[in-house]
């Protein structure tokens, strides 16, 4: 049972899935780990009523609702929902890419109609200098040249959710563009004696994780360097503050902080996954009539994202990239150095440069040999042979990448040659994953530290108490079901057609098995739909195993409060 014992332990009354598909509740826990666990199943698909093969009654349940199984045959519902959430989250990115492609034509038309009136992506230093900080502004101030005390004062204000004035945001963004634009696409980073470098995975606007890492591992300094491996924004509430914090330390000392670009440092993701909404919410400009302010700020963030380097090599031996490797063999570091990066990341292009640019931000490793199409709709899923080829061609010993939420905060694949690193703990407030960061000294021996973030205004580092874990499980289940419901809405005609073709009794109903297979086939999602059936679809009656598919589909509709 490959799970964290602290989170998924075999205890009485725990909800489980037997063989990955039969929902039930643990009723009997043996004294020995090698003995069988007694489970009361929700449906009559067992072989006893709580009496074992020796004739002992170990628990009480209805006939054919009992089953004795080995511990490794149990799946814990929280883990099942977590895996389902990750799969749905990946397909959500694919949907966003499809939406972005559809909107390209509309954006071009709008640009033509507004020609001559479009908002400039450049805000000059003179324009920024002319912005007045109001007398009643109570947030932090940024003074130039930067000093550590000033940076810490800004961070302290972020702990209480104060919003940095838009003048200072523009100053930092302009300074960041100037500092990062001259950098190479592939950064060469060294770690000298007496120094260490810490690699940070996805943060996704979760400022509490960034501050927790600083509390545990120390602030950036010339001897305590950091490499942030992309996906600073989207999904979390504090994307602007995460970017401002990284820029403050980078501008304070360029040798202390290095930044790689992730797939969420792009317009096509920010427009759908939360960061654009965050900027508009925090900097609406409505209070003083500057209605162009949020759009202007958002454009400057995009200008910053476009100059971020794409990858790094540490001590000529460790390759660090946000997504992963490539859809073709024999890609060299020289190829990566030559990429023209200062643009929106290309998608679905056929050219060599565009494709490896896309792969660096979007690809994922898998326990396979070669390659297969990506569930995300961009990049590629690559196996151990791809990793070995890249390492051999480029004399690389280890690959560090991020891009995926993993339960422990890190995952080691491909014979130890590849590490996934994810630093946003309790991701999106729905997952129960740990965060992790990786530290290296001059000898390049990686040390991984796991953590759970504390609240922004706290300094303790305790893990969640059981009531909070239960609350998170409820949120995770609710979010998973919501994402499934969205896909049902998108595919109602196809689902109805499938049901009518399998309505063997011609009475408007299908069996639970047919219903689950319909969702798997039409939605193209390999999820345990029978587990979700009680929450998604009602049975005809309590003694039935059939679902009225018209009533099921009628439950799911897209609502628009602006339309009567």
Asked if residue 328 has pLDDT above 50, the reply is yes
- Regarding whether 365 and 275 lie in a shared domain, the answer is yes
Domain that residue 385 falls in: 119-451
Q: Which of 418, 451, 484 is the last residue of a domain?
A: 451
Confidence at residue 5, expressed as pLDDT on a 0 to 100 scale: 37
Q: What is the DSSP string of 174-240?
A: HHHHHHHTTS-SEEEE---TT-EEEEE-B-TT-HHHHHHHHHHH---BTTEEEEE-S--SSSSS-HH
Give catalytic residues, as residue numbers. 264
- The answer to whether the CB of 164 falls within 8 A of the CB of 193 is no
Burial of 396-413, coded b for 16+ CB within 10 Å and e otherwise, reads bebbbbbbbbbbbbbeeb
Asked if residue 279 has pLDDT above 90, the reply is yes
How many distinct structural domains can be found in the chain?
Answer: 3
Q: How confident is the model at residue 95 (pLDDT cuts 50, 70, 90)?
A: low
Query: Domain with 37 in it: what CATH number?
Result: 2.30.30.190
Confidence at residue 345, expressed as pLDDT on a 0 to 100 scale: 95
Query: Domain with 498 in it: what CATH number?
Result: 1.10.238.10
Mean pLDDT lowest among 71-75, 192-196, 553-557: 71-75
- Regarding whether 195 and 54 lie in a shared domain, the answer is no
- Regarding whether 440 and 306 lie in a shared domain, the answer is yes
- Regarding whether 480 and 444 lie in a shared domain, the answer is no
User: Which residues lie across from 198 on neighbouring strands?
Assistant: 226, 439
User: What's the mean pLDDT in 511-533?
Assistant: 87
Q: Is 419 helix (H, G, I), strand (E, B) or coil?
A: strand
Q: How confident is the model at residue 530 (pLDDT cuts 50, 70, 90)?
A: confident
Question: Tens of pLDDT along 160-190?
Answer: 999 999 999 999 999 999 999 999 999 999 9
User: What's the mean pLDDT in 4-8?
Assistant: 39
- Regarding whether 537 and 435 lie in a shared domain, the answer is no
Domain assignment of residue 7, yes or no: no
Q: Which of 451, 486, 513 is the last residue of a domain?
A: 451
| C-alpha closest to that of 414 among 427, 397, 431, 429 | 397
- Regarding whether 243 and 373 lie in a shared domain, the answer is yes
Domain assignment of residue 286, yes or no: yes
Domain assignment of residue 107, yes or no: no
Q: Against a cut of 0.85, is the pTM above it?
A: no
Confidence at residue 8, expressed as pLDDT on a 0 to 100 scale: 44
Domain assignment of residue 92, yes or no: no
Confidence at residue 362, expressed as pLDDT on a 0 to 100 scale: 96
Q: What is the mean pLDDT of the chain?
A: 86
Domain assignment of residue 87, yes or no: no
Domain assignment of residue 460, yes or no: no
Cα–Cα distance for residue pair 509/515, rounded to 1 Å: 9
Confidence at residue 386, expressed as pLDDT on a 0 to 100 scale: 97
- Regarding whether 501 and 437 lie in a shared domain, the answer is no
- Regarding whether 423 and 303 lie in a shared domain, the answer is yes
- The answer to whether the CB of 516 falls within 8 A of the CB of 547 is no
- Regarding whether 139 and 272 lie in a shared domain, the answer is yes
- The answer to whether the CB of 300 falls within 8 A of the CB of 173 is yes
- Regarding whether 478 and 444 lie in a shared domain, the answer is no
Chain centroid, CA 73 distance in Å: 28
Confidence at residue 562, expressed as pLDDT on a 0 to 100 scale: 36
Domain assignment of residue 93, yes or no: no
- Regarding whether 447 and 483 lie in a shared domain, the answer is no
Domain assignment of residue 464, yes or no: no
- Regarding whether 498 and 440 lie in a shared domain, the answer is no
Query: Domain with 191 in it: what CATH number?
Result: 3.60.21.10
3-state secondary structure string, 315-384?
CCCEEEECCCCCCCCCCCHHHHHCCCCCCCCCCCCCCHHHHHHHHHHHCEECCCCCEEECCCCCCEEECH
Confidence at residue 560, expressed as pLDDT on a 0 to 100 scale: 39
């Amino acid at each position: 049972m490959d799970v964290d014992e602290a989170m998924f332990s075999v205890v009485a009354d725990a909800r489980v899935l037997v063989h990955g598909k039969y929902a039930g509740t643990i009723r009997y826990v043996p004294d020995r780990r090698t003995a069988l666990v007694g489970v009361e199943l929700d449906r009559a698909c067992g072989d006893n009523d709580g009496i074992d093969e020796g004739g002992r009654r170990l628990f009480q349940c209805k006939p054919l609702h009992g089953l004795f199984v080995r511990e490794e045959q149990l799946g814990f519902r929280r883990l099942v929902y977590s895996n389902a959430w990750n799969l749905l989250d990946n397909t959500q990115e694919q949907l966003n890419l499809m939406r972005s492609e559809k909107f390209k034509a509309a954006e071009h038309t709008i640009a033509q109609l507004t020609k001559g009136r479009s908002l400039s992506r450049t805000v000059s230093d003179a324009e920024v200098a002319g912005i007045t900080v109001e007398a009643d502004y109570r947030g932090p101030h940024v003074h130039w040249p930067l000093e550590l005390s000033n940076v810490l004062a800004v961070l302290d204000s972020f702990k209480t959710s104060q919003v940095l004035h838009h003048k200072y945001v523009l100053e930092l963004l302009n300074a960041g563009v100037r500092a990062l634009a001259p950098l190479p696409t592939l950064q060469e980073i060294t770690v000298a004696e007496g120094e260490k470098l810490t690699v940070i995975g996805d943060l996704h606007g979760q400022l509490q994780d960034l501050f927790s890492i600083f509390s545990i591992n120390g602030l950036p300094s010339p001897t305590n360097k950091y490499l942030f491996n992309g996906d600073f924004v989207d999904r979390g509430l504090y994307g602007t503050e995460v970017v401002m914090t990284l820029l403050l330390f980078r501008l304070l000392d360029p040798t202390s902080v290095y930044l790689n670009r992730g797939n969420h440092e792009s317009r096509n993701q920010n427009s759908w996954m939360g960061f654009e909404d965050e900027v508009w919410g925090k900097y609406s400009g409505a209070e003083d009539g500057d209605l162009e302010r949020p759009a202007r700020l958002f454009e400057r963030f995009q200008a910053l994202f476009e100059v971020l380097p794409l990858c790094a090599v540490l001590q000529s031996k460790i390759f660090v990239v946000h997504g992963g490797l490539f859809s073709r063999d024999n890609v060299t570091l020289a190829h990566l150095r030559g990429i023209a990066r200062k643009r929106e990341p290309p998608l679905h292009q056929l050219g060599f440069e565009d494709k490896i640019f896309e792969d660096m931000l979007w690809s994922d490793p898998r326990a396979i040999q070669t390659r297969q199409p990506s569930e995300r709709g961009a990049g590629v899923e690559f196996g151990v042979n791809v990793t070995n080829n890249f390492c051999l061609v480029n004399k690389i010993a280890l690959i560090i990448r991020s891009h995926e939420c993993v339960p422990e905060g890190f995952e080691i694949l491909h014979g130890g040659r590849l590490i996934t690193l994810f630093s946003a703990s309790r991701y999106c407030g729905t997952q129960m994953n740990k965060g992790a960061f990786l530290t290296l000294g001059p000898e390049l021996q990686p040390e991984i530290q796991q953590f759970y973030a504390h609240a922004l205004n706290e300094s303790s580092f305790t893990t969640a108490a059981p009531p909070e874990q239960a609350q998170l499980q409820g949120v995770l289940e609710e979010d998973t079901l919501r994402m499934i419901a969205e896909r049902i809405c998108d595919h109602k005609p196809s689902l109805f057609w499938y049901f009518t073709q399998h309505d063997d009794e011609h009475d408007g109903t299908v069996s639970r098995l047919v219903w689950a297979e319909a969702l798997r086939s039409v939605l193209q999602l390999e999820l345990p739909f029978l587990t979700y059936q009680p929450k998604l679809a009602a049975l005809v009656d309590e003694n039935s195993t059939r679902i009225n598919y018209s009533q099921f589909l009628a439950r799911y509709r897209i609502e628009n409060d602006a339309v009567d």
